[in-house]
Amino acid sequence: MSRATRVSTIRRHLVQGGLVDLGLGEATQKVGHPAQHKTDGFAARQHVDDAGTLLVIVGAYGPDWFTTMREARHRLEQPYVKCHVDGEAPGLADNELMVRWATSAELQARAAVQERRQAPLKALLRQGEAQQRAEEERQSRERAGQFGLF
């Protein structure tokens, strides 16, 4: 059983990420129609799953609700927020995401994927730094009058 996820904590993370809390009530959220709202933003509500774990459902609303939903997912899956976001859970509308705290295994897997994705860039950076050091060393030898020796 995972840890309880509080709606106030998730709401705070999203607001700190620059998203607008529309403060919609649970009844309004369940009705749907995300594009009918004039302002892009989100609304969050508590949910209890079948195992009795407290989760949060975040809904994106406004003319560009899909972008808002993508931004919410991105913000909540940051390493410092440590949430797991599921948009495919049964019973969710198209504009809703189910949020819970991520397990350590999920966080480790996410870090491993990020490491694999960044490996080519890191190798390229190390290669560039090595070339720069070699060039600086060559130039310092030339300035010292040792260019003929090497």
Q: What is the pTM of this model?
A: 0.71
30: Cβ contacts below 8 Å, ≥ 6 apart: none
Which pLDDT score, from 0 to 100, does residue 130 have? 94
Q: CA–CA distance from 55 to each of 68, 77, 132 (Å)?
A: 20, 15, 51
Instruction: Indicate if the pLDDT at residue 1 is higher than 50.
Output: no
Query: Which residue has better confidence, 32 or 138?
Result: 138
- Would you kindly state where each structural domain of the chain is located, as residue ranges? 7-102, 104-150
Which pLDDT score, from 0 to 100, does residue 2 have? 62
- Chain position carrying tokens 């310092």: 140
Question: Angle 56-57-60 (CA atoms, 0-180°, nearest 5)?
Answer: 135
pLDDT in tens, 15-63: 998 888 888 888 777 777 787 878 888 988 888 887 788 889 998 988 9
* Alpha carbons 124 and 126: distance in angstroms, whole number: 5
* Alpha carbons 121 and 144: distance in angstroms, whole number: 35
- On average, the pLDDT of the chain sits at 85
